[in-house]
Structures are given as structure tokens and as C-alpha cells.
Structure 1
Amino acid sequence: MDELFGLSRFLLTLLIFVPIERLFAARPQKIFRRGLLTDMAFQFVNGWMIMIGVIAVVAMAIVINRSVLPLAVKQAIDGLPYLVQAVLVILIGDLGVYWTHRILHVVPAMWQIHAVHHAVEELDWLAAVHQHPLDVIFMKAGSLFPLFALGFSTEAIGTYILVYSWQAYLVHANVRLNYGLLRYVLVSPEFHHWHHSSEKEARDKNFAGMISFYDWLFGSVYLPKGQKPKTFGVDNPMPSNYLALLVYPFIAWASNKKTTPNRARDERPTRCAD
């Protein structure tokens, strides 16, 4: 039950990231910033909905593994050492994250879901959980389905899930970290903060979750030297409370709201009252 609602993880990340953000802040920001209570609602309520979706995704992947995947492929993967499997799992999993994330941006109907995450205007570690459950499930389908379908070990997949979870908190955290040449390989907080920027040049860039090389490879990187993103969020008015954000995509679909996936308007993001 504790794992479902994420209480232990919340307390642990709180103890780790709050002091780090105080010591190495990328920009001045209060601990009790705007939207904090909404993000806590995402943290403690989303779990059971995401769990149901992930179970369905994994179940379908296991069916594919047992009924479709050639025996030779199964044996080849089973024969790989744990460390080799772990590296392959991270590479394959993050490639899935990259493309599902990119789809969430370029397909208008999917953007209505993902816009909930981009509605955050003050980034810190807890902004990582500010996601619609359908958003999380779709991205986990992109990353976990191929891993379970190919039959990688539970230890290797578990390692990937653990690393990715902590990476998600880190890249949203309000911290300054210089990755040096590693920025061409790994996603840093700076790299992902540009993804959340509302500035026109940065929009729909930096989709990778862990391996920034994918953005360099597919031409979607934006990491200007010596600059920092100034504003975050989306252009169209967004709700600010949890329940309103949950129903936002459905209302947008029903009203056929034409919010373009590249958020082409230049004005600063606005929010609507609930």
C-alpha cells in the first residue's frame, strides 16, 4: 500500500532533493512554490491508475514473448550477462521513451494529455510527477513493452526502472550541474529544463529521458551554450488543481480545442482559474 501511494519514495526524495536544490539552485525559487499542493496530489493519487495501465501493458508484452518471439531470440537474450542486459535495456527503454515522448508532442490529440505535464511553470524535483496518468502509461508502454516482449530479465528491467525513476526527479530538479562532454550522451537537468521552456526556439526539443544522444541523432536537440531557459509552461490557459487537470484532455477533445502541438504563440504562458 505504501509503494502504491509512493509515501516512502516521496519522503526519501524530499530529504535528498530539497537540500540539493537549496545548495545548488539553478534559479531562485521558494520551496513552497506555486502548484506544490497539486504536484503532491499527483504524487499520492496517480499510483493506482498507473499501476492498472502498466499491468495491462506488461501482460500483453508477456503474451507476445511467449507466443510470437522466436525461441532463438529468447535463448540469445537469456544467455546475456546481467550487465550486458542492463545496458541494452536502458538503451532500448530510452529509445522507446524518446519516440513516445515525441508522439505526445507532435500528435495534437496526444498533446492534450502531455500538456498537463508542461503546465508546470516552476520546475523542481516534484514536477517530475506532474503527469496525467494516461501520459505515464503511454510512455511506459513505449519503454517497458519491448523489454518484456523481448524477455529481458526482471533484474535488468528492474534496474532500468529504478535508474529512470531517479533520473526523472533529477532532470526536473532546480539544480545546476555541468555535464561537460557527457551532455552529448546523458540527459542533464539543463537539457531537460530546455524541453520545458516556453521560449519559441526550445519548443518540441530534447525528448530523451536518459540518453541525450538520441536527440542529437534524430535532430531534436536544443542546448545553447551559455544560456538558460527563462520561462516554463504552455501558452493556452490550463487548470491549476489536480481534478481539473485530470479531466482537461477529455474536455479539450470534446470541445475539439485546437491547441497546436508546437505551442506556436509567443506570449508568456497563462493559467486559468478553476
Structure 2
Amino acid sequence: MPQIRFVIRLAYAPAFFVGYLWFAVTLAHKGAPLWALPILLGSALAVSFVAERLAPYEKAWNRSHGDRGRDLMHAVVNEVSIALSVLALPLVSGLIPNFGLWPTGWPLWGQLTVAILVADFGITLAHYVSHRIPALWPLHAVHHSVERMYGFNGLLKHPLHQAIELAAGTAPLVLLGMPQDVAWLVAFAVAIQLILQHSNVDMKIGPLAYVWAVAPAHRHHHLASPIDGDVNFGLFTSLWDHLLGTFRSGSDTPKAGQIGVSGRPDYPRDYLRQLAEPFRRDV
């Protein structure tokens, strides 16, 4: 068992990310039906749960906090909304003229890489301003209300805030002329990355922690502190955090009882109340 733990800590993050994106690109090349990606995402969540139990960062976070049903609702609603957005892409592309600059002649891997880097900028910027603009913070606070960090947390967002991030990340891609098959792949890549960002696996990624925005860096962001947690906004990379001066690293990442919405120990825990919380006048 110690040997298995050691291998998971070192290999889990890169193997998970590259492996699942390889599967997704391979399915796209083979013209697989659309329902193949949700099945692949379901298997990724299952692998995440197993890895979290074999090599946990914080054992207490593997135990339910009465949040499983709520988290499932968030995940289903948000992933379905993303799928509908991708399905609507041809209509949106028909209404909004694009510059025709998309590198359609490139291999699918190259196109996906471009899409990831462009989406990373837009979503990171939307995330950053959500901590700066008072009108956006209540929507984003739903995501910060989690009391433990595990793979499913990345899919927990208020639908309106997810729509804001989705628009910020995909608008430049639509203007460039991104095709629908690449849109499906980048949506899948975002889900895989969010699972890794919030994973409870005690992953050891060495120097990659300074450029790859997975759990070792992102846990700092969930500290229940308006100052110490106001860091590491990146989705895929930490590039923009370095430029914004908001990057933080180190071993003092939060443990059980140290995450959540600062000053709000009473933050609602059930799904419907979380949807309504941003619109309460007394908040």
C-alpha cells in the first residue's frame, strides 16, 4: 500500500490529465457519439474518488459532510448547461461573425491546446474580477461555500456565475472561429482540470506547481480568508497569476476547518438555498 500511495502521489495528476484528454481526442478522431464524453467524464470522477481514498491529502475530506446530493445537483445542472451551450454553438456562430482565424489545418491536439490557452485567459480573468466586483462575488461565493475539497467541488458553481465564466472563456474562441468538435473537447478539458484543481489527492508535482493550476496551488484559493485566499485564480495555468501578482505556493495549504466563505459560517448548504443566496437583500 505505501508503494501504491507513492506512485499515485507522483503520477496521478499528469496521468489523469493527459490520459483523459488522449481518450477524448481519440474518440473525436473516431467520430464517437456525443454520449461517449459524459461516460468518459463519469469514469474520471470514479477514478478521482478511488485515488482520493488511496492517497488522500486530508482524510476528513473523504467523508460526506451531508453535501453529496447537493454536489450532484450542481454537477448535473452545470454540465448539462455546458453541453447545451456547445450544442448551440453553430447557431451562435451564425449570428456572430468570426474572423476566420482558427487553425483548422492543425492536428486536433494542436487546436485543443490553443483552445485551452485562450479559455484559460478568459475564465481566469472572470474569476479574478469576481473577487473584485461586489456584484459578482455573491454568485461566486456559492463555489467557495464548500467545507471540504474533493474532485466533485470543481463542478459546484452557481449557474449564473458559470455562465459568466463560460462567456468569458468561449467568446474569444467563437470570434476566432472555433469548430464544434473542438468546443466539445475544451469543455471536457475544463471539467477534467476542475476535478484535478479540487482533488483530495496528496499529489506531488514538483516544479509544475508553479505553472499548472491544480490542487497544490488551488487549495490556497479556498482558504476562508479575504486576504490569504485572494490568490491563485488560474484555471489551467498560473501564468496570469504570476503577471497579476496573485500567485502563492508553499506547504501551508488549508486543512479541514480552514476553507469556506470568510465570515459566513451560516452559509446555506442545500442546493436551492444556495441558488437563492446571492439575491438575498440582507447579504
The normalised TM-score by structure 1 is 0.79
In structure 1, C-alpha distance between the alignment counterparts of 2:227 and 2:89, rounded to whole Å: 35
Contact 2:143 2:156 in 1 (8 A): yes
Shift of 1:50: 5.2
Say what the alpha-carbon RMSD is for the aligned residues: 2.6
In the TM superposition, residue 152 of structure 1 has moved relative to its aligned partner by 2.5
1:17-69: CA deviation from partner (whole Å, max 9, x where unpaired): 11100111111224323322211221234455555566678744553335xx3
Choose 155-164 or 12-21, whichever is displaced more: 155-164
2:272 to 243, 249, 253: 243
Secondary structure at the aligned position of 2:149 is classed as: coil
Structure 1, unaligned runs of 5 or more: 258-274
Q: What is the aligned partner in structure 1 of residue 112 from structure 2? A: 86
Q: Secondary structure at the match of 1:106?
A: coil
Deviation at 1:200, TM superposition (A): 5.0
Residue pair 2:89, 2:180 contacting (<8 A) in 1 also = no
Distance in 2, matches of 1:105 and 1:115, equals 9
Deviation of 1:138 (Å):
0.9
Distance of 1:77 and 1:111 partners within structure 2? 36
**Partners of 2:107 and 2:41 in 1: CA distance:** 33
Alignment: residue pair count: 244
Q: Contact between 1:239 and 1:245, CA under 8 Å: does it hold in 2?
A: yes
Matched, 1:152 2:152: no
Fraction of identical pairs, as percent: 27
Q: Which moved more, 1:194-203 or 1:113-122?
A: 194-203
Correspondence list, 1:8-19, <5 A: 8=39, 11-19=42-50
> Unaligned stretches of 5+ in structure 2?
1-33
Q: In 2, are the aligned partners of 1:50 and 1:133 still within 8 Å (CA)?
A: no
Report the alpha carbon displacement of residue 238 of structure 1 after superposing the two structures with TM.
1.3
Aligned equivalent of 1:65: 97
Per-residue deviation at 1:143?
A: 0.9
Separation in 1, partners of 2:225, 2:140:
18
- Report the Cα offset of residue 135 of structure 1: 1.2
* Shift in CA distance, 155/41, structure 1 to aligned 2, threshold 3 Å: closer
Q: Could you say what secondary structure the match of 1:239 adopts? A: coil
2:46 corresponds to 1:20: no
Distance 1:181 1:23 in 2: 24
Change (3 A) 1:49 1:121: same
Matching residue of 1:272: none
Matches of 2:88 and 2:45, distance apart in 1: 31
Q: Does 1:109 align with 2:135?
A: yes
Other-structure match for 2:67: 35
